[in-house]
Chains A and B, each alone.
Chain A
Amino acid sequence: MTRKHLKRFIAISMMTAVSTTAFPCVGYYTHNYYLFHVYNSNEFSNRMDEITLDNWKSYLGSDEDLYYFDADKIRDFANSKGDALMVSYVNNLERYLDCASKVISDAWDYPSKEDLAQRNRIINEVRTYAEGKLTSRLRSQHALLFMRCNMLQGKHAENVTFWEQTGVKLIESVYKDMMKNIYAGALLKTNHPDEAGRLFAEMGDWSSLMTQYYKKRSYQAIRQEYQHNANSAVLPFLLQDFVNNSQEAVDEDGYGKMFVRTITKLEAQQMILLAGEVVKEGKSRVPALWMSAKAWLEYMYGNRQQALTDIDEAVKMEGTDWMKNNARVLRFYISAAQQPINDQFDNYVAGELAWLKSMNDEDGFYWRANERIVHQVLVDKYAQNNRVETSLALLNIIDPHYEYVEALDTIDVKSVESYLGYFNRTLSSPLDRYLKNLLSTHNSDLPDTHTPELELYDLIGTKYMRLCQWPEAMEWLKKVPVSFYNNAGYAAYAANRSYKVEPWIKRQWLKDSIAYSGEPQHMTSNPKMDFVKEINSMEDRLKKLKGKNHQQACYDLAVMYAQANFTGDCWYLMRNGKSWADEVRVNEADLNAKAVRLLRSAAETTDPQLKERALFALSYIYLYPGEEWFTYNWGASGGQPRRTVKPETSQYKAFAALAEFEANNKNVSSYVSRCDEYIQFCKYFKK
């Protein structure tokens, strides 16, 4: 037991690497995704890219999708067709794109003054070329190229004039959309922000909108925009941003967030009033947007009954598909949080979960909504209504690896046994039937070594082990084949450590190359079963022993308890992972306490060697984490740390008993005399 070991223990925080039942060391999930989402967040630039690539594909007459502008391929094809105009367009577009990418990119090769002059010369040439082709067959493409060159050279006023006099008259096309986008940017640069904002919003250019409105996202700004134009295209963007920023303000997720505009409660209440007025005035063509914003703000600020009334109204109101679907999502959350559980509610939940799953979810909103509703509302609600199985199944469909596993690990063993039965009996609730059906599909992909049944058998057996109910543990563990343990995340530890080694005398460190290899192991018997059989038989034998034999057996049993404890080297017997933050949990026996009791019995022996071993074992700090015999204090003026002795701690008392024993012991064992922690203690103890 050395300081080095102590430090190493503190530093240890291990994840089970490959087990499907891996735990996070210290995990914390909020699931607090934004629930107010009223437009497709597919970016304007992405859409433009897709369409232009489709246009090139169509020009090439190809069936293959294009993933980038392949100038060579297009040029070759145009040449083969004798399409000289297209060849010159592609050449000049390529020159422009090359310059533009250099301007915006952060390459290692920084441009020289000559490079910049050269770049400017090329842009001028391309611009002149494009201007000369504005009446050609490819006039839209060349008009766009002309505006792009202007943009790169900062000729924004020229772009405004060009669009208003020429661009706007061109036929509808993706090139015209892109020109309009450049025009919007030019308006912004030439001090016409309102018009620019509206155009960005109409085009779904959210990045540009966020840049433009970054410092103008407020109740005041939204009110002014509404008064200016009750159906302004900027309003959904501003309102979504406002509502989600309000969520940040009421969030309690433990993480400070940057770049979020602060919404005060007063401002949120002003927005609630405004949203109500907007709906009453009837000028907005999308009242569902305003009513659902009002409902969600009401809910977040605690006025939940009003929120329910509002959201019930919102789902019946007019709005875009996005707005209507968003209202439905919010209604699911708000009503699920408040309605009582009954058959009707189960039906509703099953229907809404299936609806969320069925939605086209390109930007992941419905998946996130599902996560949040299940985690924040349904899981606890069903658990509190004695529907633990439903609660676990809900967790399982959302997140089979972390919180589901953690929930299973912390509930009592009878609940897990009952959950196992969930899969084997006919279920009456439509929600349970829906969940069971979904899980059957999910579980069909799992490897044979880690089927859900085996996971549960092992877990139930382990839970009985944690309660020291060895016969019950054996009943379950015998159903688990050794292949399960050879493929567990902790397999390397199980295969290379022994629960019979006295941890206070020898620590069983594993090389990283072994511990983190992730390779399956080759144990030939179930390690948990082996332990359970042995400890069960030792406990039986202990009851029959007396005197020195009894004391020796106490010591041997204490070794097993100390090893199986979460601070022991054989922590894998009771846990799937190890962390410095571990502690005795509910539904678990305190194995360290048992070890200490047994060691105290052993220490009563008259055999000096056993007594010394037991006393030494009792001073092992991992039997009482946090009960070290001293603390370090840092002086206010810096300098070396000062050791403050704590005679009230368990380790101090144990070391004191050992020191008193050794004072009259002529044959002090080397494991005592060489223990640096004990040597340090003696210096202070004598003082």
Chain B
Amino acid sequence: MKIFSNFAPDICTASMEKRWLVCMILLPFFLACSHQERMDDENAVYYWRTEWRLDSLERDFIEQYQIHKVYCRYFDVVTDEGATELKPIATIVFVDTVPQDLEIIPTVYITEACLHQSLTGLATKIVERVVKMNETNDVHNVKEIQIDCDYTLRSRQGYYEFLAEVREEARKHAMGLSTTIRLHQLSMPVPPVDYGVLMIYNTGDPQKYMERNPILDLRDVEPYLRYLGSYQLKLAAAYPVFSWQRVFYNMNLVHEVSADEILKVKAAVENERDELRHSILLYHLDHDNINRYDKKTFEAFYRH
């Protein structure tokens, strides 16, 4: 702190004394602000289906790995075909009741195309819809909303302004706000939210499946590691446990990520940013995904 080295006690004037006092008072405040409050240790999952219905395996999974938070996709927001109006689609239907001891984070996915339309009033519409969905479907344990969007350099500014509005609206209902952060978004200024969930998947080019696993490959993550340390937003980490099947050049390709690769990436990102070992999410809760890995592997994914 260069300012202090300039003080010489023998020439200290009254005004200087005041400055010194002010600095001493403010210093702890600055230090506190510069040190981000860290995420709590917690296990969570995304729920990315159109019907809320848990089978026994999924319920056991939640219990076994002490999952208290479920980031549940409520609906998507898209541009109306051929029009500029934005509309909700694929709204989740609550077939089963939601266990009250489970904290639900309503998650709303917004396509990037929406950000190129007028967003006036959208924040209110989204928050009010989420609140009403909670009321109608007896989802009571809700403390925050998450917005998911693959924003780009071009759309970032508009998206951040929109997030600020959502945050304001959410506050009226005593809710916080988080957003997803894709790796390429780490190089941008941070969004105005309480924290981000770093999406550590869909990192590769699906066309180059021979070279890299498009879901996750450490080599695709590496170029972004350098941004992690200095990213000025609290972050949770989300890892992929899903598979992706497709036909490509007369081949039936099933992409799934080996546990080793996930754990390698986990170690690499946690090495760059210790905070990422605290709040850990898996994408996404599903019977097949649970059967994909064994108990020890899931324990390793959720190791803090």
Report whether B249 and A634 are in contact in the complex, using a CB–CB cutoff of 8 Å.
no
Q: Do most interface residues of chain A lie in helix, strand or loop, or is the interface mixed?
A: loop
Residues from chain A with a CB closer than 8 A to the CB of B248 are 256-257
Q: Which of A243-283 contact B (CB under 8 A)?
A: 248-252, 254, 256-258, 260, 262, 264
Say yes or no: is B225 at the interface (Cβ < 8 Å to chain A): yes
Closest Cβ–Cβ distance, residue A257 to chain B (whole Å): 6
Q: A106's contact among B89, B136, B206, B250, by CB below 8 Å, is which?
A: B89
Question: When chains A and B are docked, how far (Å) is the Cα of A248 from the Cα of B250?
Answer: 7
A113 vs B207: C-alpha distance when bound (angstroms): 47
B125-133, B140-148, B168-176: which lies at the interface: B125-133
| A112 interfacial contact with B, CB 8 Å | yes
Tell me the smallest distance from the CB of B251 to a CB of chain A, in Å.
8
What residues of A have a CB within 8 angstroms of the CB of B161 in the complex?
A: none
B136 touches A113 (CB 8 A): yes
Tell me the chain B residues, 261-277 only, with Cβ under 8 Å from chain A. 272
Contact A251 B87, beta carbon cutoff 8 Å? no
Q: For residue A638, which residues in chain B have a CB less than 8 angstroms away from its CB?
A: 222-226, 272
Known: A256-B206, A638-B222, A640-B226. A113 touches B247 (CB 8 A): no
Q: Tell me if B75 is interfacial: C-beta within 8 Å of chain A.
A: yes
Interface string of B53-97 (1 = CB under 8 A from A): 000000000000000000000010000000000011111000000
With a cutoff of 8 Å between Cβ atoms, the chain B residues found around residue A27 in the complex are: none
In whole angstroms, what is the CA distance A107 to B132 when docked? 12
Chain A residues within 8 Å of chain B by Cβ, number? 28
Are B225 and A112 touching (Cβ within 8 A)? no
Chain B contacts of A111 at CB under 8 A?
Answer: 132, 136
- Identify which of B88, B89, B132, B250 contacts A251 (C-beta below 8 A): B250
Q: When each residue 637-654 of chain A gets 1 if its CB lies under 8 Å from chain B and 0 otherwise, what string results?
A: 111100000000000000
Judge if A67 is at the interface, Cβ distance under 8 Å: no
User: Roughly how many angstroms separate A116 CA and B94 CA in the complex, as a whole number?
Assistant: 13
- Name A591-646 residues within 8 Å CB distance of B: 634, 636-640
- Cα A107 to Cα B128 in complex, Å, equals 12
Of all chain A residues, the one with the shortest Cβ separation from B87 is A106
Taking CB atoms, residues of chain A closer than 8 Å to B225 are 637-638
Within 8 A of A (CB), among B218-240: 222-226
B101 CB-CB contact with A under 8 Å:
no
Could you tell me if B125 and A108 are in contact, using CB atoms closer than 8 angstroms? yes
User: In this assembly, does A110 line the interface, its C-beta being within 8 Å of a C-beta of chain B?
Assistant: yes
Q: Mark B240-253, 1 if CB is under 8 A from A, else 0.
A: 00000111111011
Find the A residue at minimum CB distance from B252.
Answer: A262
In the bound complex, do residue B250 and residue A252 qualify as a contact, i.e. CB atoms below 8 Å apart?
Answer: yes
- A474 vs B87: C-alpha distance when bound (angstroms): 57
Contact: B87 with A108, CB < 8 Å? yes
**Which of A108, A256, A637 is close to B253, meaning CB atoms less than 8 Å apart?**
A256
- Distance of A363 Cα from B249 Cα, bound (Å): 28
Shortest Cβ distance from B251 into A: residue? A249
Residues of A within 8 A of B206 (CB): 256
Q: Are B90 and A110 in contact (CB under 8 A)?
A: no
The answer to whether B250 touches A254 (Cβ under 8 A) is: no
Q: Which of A108, A254, A637, A640 contacts B207 (CB 8 A)?
A: A254
Q: Which single residue of chain B is at the shortest CB-CB distance from A636? A: B222
B133 to A110, Cβ gap below 8 A? yes
A411 to B44, CA, bound (A): 60
Closest to A253 in B: B249
Say yes or no: A110-B132 contact (C-beta < 8 A), given A254-B207, A638-B272, A640-B226. Answer: yes
Instruction: Name the contact of A256 in the complex, choosing from B90, B132, B247 (C-beta under 8 A).
Output: B247
Mask: chain A, 96-114; 1 = CB below 8 Å from B; 0 = not: 0000000000111111110
Which of A109, A257, A637 contacts B247 (CB under 8 A)? A257
B residues near A258, Cβ cutoff 8 Å: 245-246
Distance in angstroms from A660 CB to nearest chain B CB is 36
Q: When the two chains form their complex, are residues A260 and B247 in contact, meaning their CB atoms are under 8 A apart?
A: yes
Q: Say yes or no: A110 contacts B136, CB within 8 Å.
A: yes
Alpha-carbon distance A249/B246, docked complex (angstroms): 10
Contact A252–B249 (Cβ < 8 Å): yes
Report A603 CB to chain B, min CB distance, Å: 40
Bound CA span A625–B133, Å:
57
Give bound CA distance, A304 to B195, whole Å: 60
Q: Does B135 contact A (CB under 8 A)?
A: yes
Closest to A254 in B: B207
Query: CA separation between A223 and B135, bound complex, in Å?
Result: 50
CB atoms of A264 and B252 under 8 A apart: yes
Residues 8 to 30 of chain B near chain A (Cβ within 8 Å): none
Q: How far is the CA of A637 from the CA of B223 in the complex (A)?
A: 8
Given known pairs A108-B87, A110-B133, the reply for A634 and B223 (CB within 8 Å) is: yes
Q: Do the beta carbons of A256 and B226 come within 8 Å of each other?
A: no
Contacts of B209 in A (CB 8 A): 256
Beta-carbon nearest neighbor of B246 in chain A = A256
A106 and B90 contact, CB distance less than 8 A: yes
Kindly list chain A residues whose C-beta atoms are within 8 Å of the C-beta of B88. 106-108
Which listed residue, A112, A636, A637, A640, touches B132 by the CB 8 Å rule? A112
Interfacial residues of chain A within 213-261, with CB under 8 A of chain B in the complex: 248-252, 254, 256-258, 260
Which has the most chain B C-beta neighbours within 10 Å: A108, A115, A260?
A: A108
Chain B residues with CB under 8 Å of A260's CB are 246-247
Q: Shortest CB–CB separation between residue A318 and chain B, in angstroms?
A: 33
User: Which residues of chain A are within 8 angstroms of B87 by Cβ–Cβ distance?
Assistant: 106, 108
Q: A254, A256, A258, A260 — which one has the most chain B CB atoms within 10 A of its CB?
A: A256
Residue from B223, B224, B248 having most chain A Cβ neighbours under 10 A: B248
A439 and B300 CA atoms in complex are apart in Å by 67
Q: Which residues of A contact B222 (CB under 8 A)?
A: 634, 636-638
Name the residue of chain B whose CB is nearest to the CB of A260.
B247
List A residues 154-186 near B (Cβ within 8 Å).
Answer: none
CA distance A252 to B272 in the complex (A): 41
Q: In the complex the two chains form, what is the Cα distance from A249 to B245 in whole Å? A: 13
Partner of A249, one of B207, B226, B247: B247
Chain A residues in 8 Å Cβ range of B207: 254, 256
* Chain B residues within an 8 Å CB radius of A115: 136
- Chain B residue numbers with a CB within 8 Å of A634 are 222-223
Bound-state CA distance A250–B209 (Å) is 18
Question: When chains A and B are docked, how far (Å) is the Cα of A116 from the Cα of B132?
Answer: 12
Contact A106 B91 (CB under 8 A): yes
Instruction: Tell me which of A112, A113, A250 contacts B250 (CB under 8 A).
Output: A250
Assembled-state Cα–Cα distance A258/B90 (Å): 19
The CA of A248 and the CA of B253, in the complex, are separated in Å by 13
Which A residues are CB-close (under 8 A) to B125?
Answer: 108
Give A116 to B138 CA distance when docked, in angstroms: 13
The CA of A256 and the CA of B246, in the complex, are separated in Å by 6
Ordered by A's residue number, 24 sampled pairs between the chains whose C-beta atoms are within 8 Å are A106-B75, A106-B87, A110-B129, A110-B132, A111-B132, A111-B136, A112-B135, A113-B135, A113-B136, A249-B250, A254-B207, A256-B209, A256-B246, A256-B253, A257-B246, A257-B248, A258-B246, A260-B247, A262-B245, A637-B225, A638-B223, A638-B226, A638-B272, A640-B226
11 additional A-B pairs beyond A106-B90, A250-B250, beta carbons within 8 Å, are: A106-B87, A106-B88, A107-B88, A108-B88, A113-B136, A115-B136, A252-B250, A262-B252, A634-B222, A637-B222, A638-B272
- Going nearest first, the 5 A-B pairs with the smallest beta carbon separation are A638-B225, A256-B248, A262-B252, A256-B246, A638-B226
